[in-house]
Amino acid sequence: MTDRIQLPSIAPAVESDAVVRARALARLRWVSAGLIALLAAVGARGVQLSLLPSERTLRTAAVQRWDTVTHRARRGQVFDRNGHRLAISVATPNVLVDPTLVGASEVAGLATRLSDLLGLAPEVVAQKLSLKSRYQRLALRVHPAVAAEIGAIDHPAIWVERETRRYYPEGTLAAHVLGFVDADDDGREGIEAALDRYLRGGVVLEQRRRDRRGMNVDDPSPTTEPNAGMDVHLTLDRSIQRITEHALARAMERSAPLSASAIVVHVPTGDLLALANAPTFNPNELTDDALSRRNHALQDAIEPGSVFKPFTIASALAEGVVRPDTLVNCEGGTWFVGRSRIRDDHPSGILSVSEVLSQSSNIGSAKIALEVGADVLIGYLRAFGFGEETGLGLPGERSGFVRPADRIRPIELATTSYGQGVTTTPLQLAMAVAALGNGGILMKPRLVTRVEDVHGVPEVVQQPEAVRRVVSKDIADAVIDMMETVTEPSGPAPLGAVSGYRVAGKTGTAEKVEDGRYGDGRIASFVSLVPAEQPVLAIVVTIDEPSVGSHYGAQAAAPVSSEIAAGSLRYLGVPPSGGGAVDPLTQIKPEVPREELRVAWMGDGWQMPDLSGRLLRESVRVLEPAGLELTLRGSGRVIQQTPIAGTKVPAGGHVSLVLR
C-alpha cells in the first residue's frame, strides 16, 4: 500500500486595506491622466482643424456639406429666315417628394391636396408618398401656376425643381427638318441631330448645401447663358412652309396616299424655302410611328418617271443631237429595243422634240437617248446631281442610283431616259429642276444661313454655292419653253397652272417596284418653275400610291404644286407674268430683319455692321452698346462708314459716319 504524502497548505498573505487602497488610487490617477491627455490631444486637434484645416479636411467637409448638381446649359434656338422661332428651350417645373419625411398620419391628407392640384388620382399619390424612398417624381412639366401652389404648401418633403425642355412653338411645322431631342437633350434627326454640336449647351456644375440628414436645402437655379448653345438660322420661310404643308394635308385627304412630299427651292440661290412631308408628327408629342417621322423628301430613292424627260432632252439639245423642232417617229405607240417593248400610254404619231416632252412620249424620249449615247447621257444626268448626295447635311439622305455608262444595256439606257430603272430623291429632283431655272447652273441646296453664339458672333456662315454649270442658259431656256406647254389649257396638266403666272411644268407617273418586279402601285409627281419667264421658285411634289381618284401626276400632284405656287407667289409679292418679274427674296424681303442689326464682340474687337441706308437715330442705337467714339458728318441716312462693314474696331475705338 502506497503511503500518501501530506503537502502543507499555502494561504495567501492578507494585505491590509491601506495597501489595496493606495494601489487602486495610483491606478486611477494613471487612467485619469491618460484620459485627460487624450482629451487634450483631441481638443488640440479639434482646434487645429477648426482654425487651420488641411486641404484634405476641407475637401471632406465639402463633400459632406455640399452636393454638386450637373446641368446642361440652354440649348440653342432655331429660327427661320425671317427670325421666327422654330425651336426653343424653356424651363419647366417638376414636382418631387421625399416619402421618408411624410408621416403615416399625413399621407391621406397630403395625397388629397396634391391630387387636386396635379390632377392625379389620390391613391396614386398616396402610393408614392408611402414608398421607402428619398426621391420620387410626382409630376413632370407642370404648369408654372400649379408649381407656385405646390411651392406654397411649405412641407419639407415636397419641393419643385425646374428643368429645361425643348419646345417647338409651331408644333408640326417643319418637323422633318427640325427633328427632335431625346430625354438627355441630345439631337435626334433633322437639324437637331445634324447641328447638335453647335446647338447643345455646355455643362454647368452647380453646388447646393445639404443638411445633416443629407437633404438639399438650396433650390438650384444655375445661370446657363454663358454656356448656352448656339443659335441656328435656316433658309426656311415659315409662311411658305405652312402653305406647303396645308397643300399636302389636302392632298392626303383628297387622294389618300401612303405618303406625300413637297419641296420649294429659291432658284437663284438654292435656298430651301419649304420641305414638307405627310404624314407628319409633332416633336412636342413624340409617338412610335416611324412612318410619320420619315423624311421622304430626302430618304426615299424612287423611280422618278416622266419628270426625268426634261433632263434627257436638255442633254440632247446641249450636244446638238436634236433641236426643239426635230421630228421623232412615235407612231403605233409601241417600239422594240431588242426583245424589249417600250410603250406610250397615249400613242402619237410623228412628234417634234418639244411635243415629245409635252405629250410625255416614252418612245420619243428613248429614241433621243439612244441617239445621244450612254456616255454622254449618263454624264449629263450625273452633272445634274443624280446618283450622288446633294450635301444638304440632314441625316439619312439617299444618293439614288444611276447605272454606270460602261455597264448599261441599250434597253436600260432607253428606260433611264424616261425615269425607269433609275432612282432619285425628291430633293435631287428639286435641285436639278432649279438648275434649269437658274440658266443651267446647279446650286448646292442651302438650309442653314448661319450659326451664331449668344453674342451674335457667327461661328458658321454659309453662302449660296454654285456646284457647276450643266448646260448653257439658251439650252435651259429652251427646255423651260417646252415645259411651259405642259400647263397650257390644251396641255396634259392644266391643273398645274397658276392664274396670272406662266408655269413651266412636267408630270410623272412612275411604277413602283415590289418584290423585284413592277407592281400596281404608282408614284404621281409634278415639277414646276414659276414664273416661267424668270423663275423664282422650283417646286417638286410627289404622291406615293394615291388610292382615291386618279393616280396620274397631272391629276394627283399638279393641283398640289399649283396651290403651293399660288400661295407662295402671292406671299412673296411676285408680280404677275408680264408685269416685270423681280426676285422678291432679295429686293422685297431681306433675309435678316432690320431690327436684328447689332454690333457683335469678336473676342479681340467689335465687328462693324453694315449701316448703309440707316437713319442717324438707328445707327446710334446700334453702336451705343459698344461704347465706341462716334464722329458724325451730315444728316439723314448713312452713305459712308469708317471702318467698313465686317471689319473689327478695338474696344474704345473710333467710328466715323457720313450721312445725307
Between residues 652 and 119, which one has the greater pLDDT? 119
Quick one: pLDDT at residue 6?
Answer: 65
Encode pLDDT of 22-78 as tens digits.
Answer: 888 888 888 988 899 999 888 887 787 677 777 776 676 666 666 665 666 788 999
Catalytic residues: 306
Quick one: pLDDT at residue 623?
Answer: 78
Task: In whole angstroms, give the CA distance from residue 138 to residue 99.
Answer: 11
Quick one: pLDDT at residue 402?
Answer: 95
CA 339 to chain centre: 49
Can you give the pTM of this predicted structure?
0.74
Neighbours of 239 (CB within 10 A): 17
Quick one: pLDDT at residue 466?
Answer: 94
Encode pLDDT of 506-520 as tens digits.
Answer: 999 998 887 778 888
Task: In whole angstroms, give the CA distance from residue 254 to residue 257.
Answer: 9
Task: In whole angstroms, give the CA distance from residue 74 to residue 226.
Answer: 9
Encode pLDDT of 610-654 as tens digits.
Answer: 787 777 777 777 777 666 777 777 777 777 788 877 777 776 677
Neighbours of 457 (CB within 10 A): 13
Tell me the pLDDT of the chain averaged across its residues: 85
Quick one: pLDDT at residue 255?
Answer: 95
Task: In whole angstroms, give the CA distance from residue 419 to residue 36.
Answer: 101
Using alpha carbons, list the distances in angstroms from residue 304 to 296, 333, 400, 539, 557: 13, 21, 11, 15, 13
Please, are residues 638 and 614 in contact by the beta-carbon 8 Å criterion? yes
Quick one: pLDDT at residue 370?
Answer: 95
Quick one: pLDDT at residue 656?
Answer: 83
First-last CA distance in the chain: 151
Torsion angle (degrees, nearest 10) of CA 548, 549, 554, 557:
-30
As a whole-number percent, the residues of the chain with pLDDT over 90 amount to 52
Closest to 467 (Cα-Cα) out of 432, 437, 494: 432
Query: If you search the block for the grid coordinates 443659335, which residue do you land on?
Result: 231
For the chain, how big is the Rg over CA atoms in Å? 39
* pLDDT of 553 strictly over 70: yes
Closest to 535 (Cα-Cα) out of 560, 508, 510, 572: 572
Please, are residues 530 and 562 in contact by the beta-carbon 8 Å criterion? no
Task: In whole angstroms, give the CA distance from residue 55 to residue 63.
Answer: 12
Quick one: pLDDT at residue 438?
Answer: 96
Task: In whole angstroms, give the CA distance from residue 568 to residue 264.
Answer: 9
Quick one: pLDDT at residue 588?
Answer: 35
- The sign of the CA dihedral 365, 369, 372, 375 is positive
Closest to 312 (Cα-Cα) out of 266, 363, 278: 363
Task: In whole angstroms, give the CA distance from residue 185 to residue 179.
Answer: 12
Domains in the chain, CATH or no CATH each: 69-234 (3.90.1310.10), 240-587 (3.40.710.10), 597-659 (3.30.10.20)
Span 373-402, average pLDDT: 95
CA 441 to chain centre: 27
As a whole-number percent, the residues of the chain with pLDDT over 70 amount to 86
Closest to 153 (Cα-Cα) out of 193, 118, 199, 195: 118
Confidence bin at 596 (pLDDT 50/70/90): low
